[in-house]
């Protein structure tokens, strides 16, 4: 593959396919990974300890015993639609992972964002003698006065700010979310309605993060959630993979050498797709193939990985704006930490024009009556572009594709107000 030509195509805002030449067999990649399955299991146990507290603060989670998890569903009509409309020749099963409908925050960020806030809360509570690990964590809900002396801050384009803001405010923290210009107004309004302070910046995501980190550092009682470098966020996302095992079994989906699993995840700075993919590789090894999908104006992770420069290069450096309707993916510079982890694990990347986000959104609504926000619909670019690439042939999977399973990871949408949904339905109709 000619990388100079690929970067040239990307700088012209063309939709591209990039297959990762540095991907290694998982057993070869594993010894060089900073985090392990033990770290994921530790995160999973922590979320279980907090389940009684979550049930008390968010009664809607009682039906799942305080575990924040989303459904995995078959979407056969959507598969038919994309084969017919986009000539994708997709075989096997197409599933939707509905992180778009996760309780509390309505997006994939309910995983990493909420986990990081809970980890910080546990650390503070144990350090100050409020709880022991063996206690029932529900009693933390009676300590709002203690937590009110502390502040939590985060830089966000939208959904991470929502998850951090809603959970932190429920615990009692003062919360400041630093939002870039591309964050949607309704997300800012929702946060403010929950008592969260929203600081707005005319520049992009990186500036919001930089300012948030600086202001947090000035306050000894402030904790900054660092989307670009946080191991805690990353592990919160990774727990999703462990939970997928039982969901696949319920749907009678086998994942092995003869039944490959393909997963497509929208990507912004990289934390959520990186964490989920890391977890999936730990669980399924070489039998899972993970792909990221990014907007043509903000393909920061692809640019970082293709050049090997990771967070030392931005999309602006190759002539792009970083501006996209996919607000959660509007990031100009990727996480260097995630890029380093994904270097030997990621199968590849696809980019998508904004117009196609809306086309896929309407396709899914029409065929399956499921609404996703436009940025979440980037995942459908994955199975379509995979079938146009040489990946199955390169990996010796051509004869196994009829028995493959494809998961489009829906990253957000259930909290989008009705009037905004109506606007989205009319966007890029021509």
- pTM of the entire structure? 0.96
Mind listing the pLDDT tens digit for each residue in 264-285?
999 999 999 999 999 999 999 9
pLDDT score recorded for residue 2 = 80
pLDDT score recorded for residue 327 = 86
The class of domain 109-231 in CATH terms is alpha beta
* Stretches in the chain below the pLDDT threshold 70: 1
**Domain positions in the chain:** 3-105+238-426, 109-231
The class of domain 3-105+238-426 in CATH terms is alpha beta
pLDDT score recorded for residue 375 = 96
Mind listing the pLDDT tens digit for each residue in 34-65?
999 999 999 999 999 999 999 999 999 999 99
3-state secondary structure the chain: CCHHHHHHHHHCCCCCEEECCCCCCHHHHHHHCCCCHHHHHHHHHHHHHHHHHHHHHCHHHHHHCCCCCCCEEECHHHHHHHHHHHCCCCCCEEEEEEHHHCCCCCECHHHHHHHHHHHHHHHHHHHCCCCCCCCCHHHHHHCHHHHCCCEEEEEECCHHHHHHHHHHHHHCCEEEEEECCCCCHHHHHHHHHCCCEEEECCCCHHHHHHHHHHHHHCCCCEEEECCCCCHHHHHHHHHHHHHHHHHHHHCCCCCECCECEEEEEECCCCHHHHHHHHHHHHHHHHHEEEEEEEECCCCHHHHHHHHCCHHHCCHHHHCCCCCCCCHHHCCCCCCHHHHHHHCCCCCEEEEECHHHHHHHHHHHHHHHCCCCCHHHHHHHHHHHHHCCCCHHHHCCCHHHHHHCEEEEEECECCCCCHHHHHHHHHCCCC
Evaluate whether 3-105+238-426 and 109-231 have a shared fold. Answer: yes
pLDDT score recorded for residue 152 = 98
pLDDT score recorded for residue 1 = 61
């Amino acid at each position: 593959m000619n990388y100079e030509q690929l970067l040239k195509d990307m700088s012209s805002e063309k939709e591209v396919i990039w297959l990762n030449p540095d991907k290694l067999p998982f057993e070869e990649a594993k010894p060089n990974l900073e985090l392990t399955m033990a770290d994921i299991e530790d995160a999973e146990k922590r979320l279980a300890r907090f389940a009684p507290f979550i049930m008390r603060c968010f009664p809607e989670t009682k039906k799942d015993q305080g575990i924040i998890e989303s459904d995995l569903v078959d979407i056969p009509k959507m598969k038919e639609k994309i084969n017919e409309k986009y000539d994708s020749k997709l075989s096997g099963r197409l599933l939707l992972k509905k992180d778009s409908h996760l309780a509390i925050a309505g997006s994939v960020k309910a995983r990493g964002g909420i986990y990081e806030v809970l980890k910080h809360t546990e650390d503070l509570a144990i350090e100050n003698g409020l709880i022991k690990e063996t206690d029932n964590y529900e009693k933390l809900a009676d300590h709002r006065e203690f937590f009110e002396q502390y502040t939590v801050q985060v830089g966000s384009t939208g959904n991470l700010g929502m998850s951090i803001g809603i959970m932190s405010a429920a615990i009692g923290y003062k919360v400041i979310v630093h939002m870039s210009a591309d964050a949607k107004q309704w997300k800012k309004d929702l946060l403010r309605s929950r008592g969260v302070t929203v600081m707005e910046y005319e520049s992009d995501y990186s500036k919001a993060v930089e300012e948030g980190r600086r202001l947090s550092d000035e306050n000894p009682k402030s904790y900054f959630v660092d989307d670009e470098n946080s191991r805690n966020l990353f592990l919160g996302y990774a727990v999703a993979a462990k939970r997928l095992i039982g969901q696949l079994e319920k749907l009678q989906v086998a994942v092995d050498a003869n039944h490959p699993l393909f997963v497509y995840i929208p990507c912004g700075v990289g934390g959520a797709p990186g964490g989920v993919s890391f977890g999936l590789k730990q669980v399924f090894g070489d039998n899972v193939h993970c792909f990221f999908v990014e907007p043509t104006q903000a393909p920061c992770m692809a640019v970082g990985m293709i050049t090997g420069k990771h967070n030392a290069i931005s999309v602006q450096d190759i002539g792009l704006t970083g501006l996209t309707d996919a607000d959660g993916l509007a990031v100009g510079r990727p996480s260097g930490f995630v890029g380093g982890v994904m270097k030997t694990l990621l199968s590849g990347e696809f980019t998508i024009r904004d117009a196609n986000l809306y086309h896929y959104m309407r396709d899914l609504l029409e065929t399956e009556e499921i609404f996703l926000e436009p940025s979440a619909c980037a995942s459908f670019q994955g199975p379509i572009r995979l079938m146009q690439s040489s990946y199955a042939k390169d990996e010796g999977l051509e004869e196994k594709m009829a028995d493959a399973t494809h998961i489009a990871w829906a990253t957000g949408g259930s909290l989008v107000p009705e009037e905004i949904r109506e606007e989205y339905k009319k966007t890029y109709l021509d």
